[in-house]
Amino acid sequence: MNKYNVGLKFVLVGIGLGYAQKSAIANGLLPPEITQSPPQDHLGQLGNVLTLFPEQSDIGQPKDSGTVGAGSQLYLPIPDSGMPPTPNPTQRGYCINKKAVPLFRGVIPVVGDEVIADTAASEISLWFYIPENDAIRAEFSILSDGDDFSVLGVENKTDFLEHYEEIYDISSRQGFVQIKLPKNALEVGKQYWWDLTLVCDEKDNSANVYIYGSVRRQASSQLRLDTQATTLAALKDALLRSDSALTLSDRQALGAALSDGGQPQTLIWVEDRLKAHYQVLWQRYNQLGQEMDAILATPVNLDRVKLHRLNQERSRIAFELAQLSPFFGLWGDAVDLLATYRADYPQAWQQLLNTIFQDDQFWLEENQGHE
């Protein structure tokens, strides 16, 4: 069991995020089969929690010239939608304004009444939206025994804990928050439960507010294409459209093949081709991170031109991975990649949020006024 009491070291991500920070933040998303050592952060400790403040996010607003892909288009399947679990109501008042309680949620699709983050990453990140609050701190837990939902209700979770951390100064952290788990903290093929609690009263647990969901880590070699009709329609668009992010040399042939309505042999071919491409992309993504890390290791002779070129290529690969991930059901990875590179792809980030929260987009728009 990994148990941590971690003080917050937040990094504000704005338009001017340095290349070193991007490399260090985004490099931990490699499938288990091709995981290598992540680049070292030579410019200081980033910590394991990242906050994107609303006033810096410019959600849905194109950036000025110089960005990688301000107008880039995603072709996303529509995930099965449901209502997210309502944050646990308090008995004696909230440390969140009651009208803002529905805003406290994970940035993850809801299937039925479950919030499930699927990922093929060895270093897993979950993203949350934290509204204005007066909480003393936040507590984040990962619990084992994913088949037994009742573990979330037990008073003493020690026997189930796989990871635990306390997040201080959460009351000043309104915005999108990234919580990064330790590398290989979760076993491949297992389901775990997470919960995020805002501690409102040290002496009265009934005053606390929490949300919960699950996370599943998958092996990239075992990925399966989602063959629902709506997913295949989105995939066909992603393969055939001229503004597609996909770089497969045979993408037109793959897209045309799907015109047969998704016959079994066609789906096997498309799945194998996409999965192989997906793994190659992760390998290149990791290699670029290592090359950037090597440049940053010699700051005296820092080659900023090469660093910029590598970073731009890495950003484009992240975008392509974010496009491919939902077709394998890996919405957790799609969110993490786009959130990390959201300054390069603001419209795509907004598009992803609109896709995940298709029934209640008001919460995104409403918070534009909180600057």
pLDDT digits (tens, 9 = 90+) for 78-136: 876 655 555 655 445 579 888 888 889 899 888 767 788 999 987 789 999 999 999 99
pTM: 0.76
pLDDT digits (tens, 9 = 90+) for 11-47: 222 222 233 333 332 333 333 333 333 333 333 333 3
Q: What is the mean pLDDT of residues 156-174?
A: 84
107 vs 213: CA distance, rounded Å: 11
Cβ pair 216, 124 in contact under 8 A: no
**Taking phi first (over 0 means left), then psi (-120 to 50 degrees means alpha), and beta for anything else, what does residue 175 get?**
left
Predicted pLDDT at 87: 65
Cβ pair 133, 169 in contact under 8 A: no
234 vs 244: CA distance, rounded Å: 11
More confident of the two residues 231 and 67: 231
Alpha carbon 101 to its chain's center:
22
The mean-pLDDT minimum among 56-65, 149-158, 170-179, 362-371 falls in 56-65
Joined tokens for residue 227: 């063959």
Cβ pair 27, 355 in contact under 8 A: no
Cα 184 to Cα 1, 180, 200, 346: the distances in Å are 12, 11, 32, 30
Q: Which of 32, 17, 52 has the alpha carbon at shortest distance from 336?
A: 52
Q: Which of 361, 356, 346, 360 has the alpha carbon at shortest distance from 13?
A: 346
Joined tokens for residue 233: 């329609």
Give the residue ranges of DSSP H helices in the chain. 19-26, 54-57, 229-240, 251-257, 264-296, 304-324, 331-340, 346-356, 362-366
The mean-pLDDT minimum among 20-24, 152-156, 299-303, 359-363 falls in 20-24
Alpha carbon 313 to its chain's center:
20
Q: Which of 109, 117, 105, 121 has the alpha carbon at shortest distance from 192?
A: 117
**3-class DSSP state of 50:** strand
Residue 67 has pLDDT above 70, yes or no: no
Cβ pair 365, 61 in contact under 8 A: no
**3-class DSSP state of 268:** helix
Amino acid at 262: G
Q: What are φ and ψ of residue 204, in 5° steps?
A: -135, 100
CA triple 297-180-176, angle to 5 deg? 105
Please count the other Cβ atoms lying within 10 Å of the Cβ belonging to residue 266. Answer: 16
Cα 213 to Cα 60, 152, 153, 330: the distances in Å are 27, 10, 13, 15
pLDDT digits (tens, 9 = 90+) for 210-230: 898 999 999 988 999 999 999
pLDDT digits (tens, 9 = 90+) for 294-350: 999 988 889 999 999 999 999 999 999 999 999 999 999 999 999 999 999 999 999
Cα 179 to Cα 127, 149, 182, 194, 195: the distances in Å are 6, 22, 10, 11, 12
172 vs 55: CA distance, rounded Å: 13
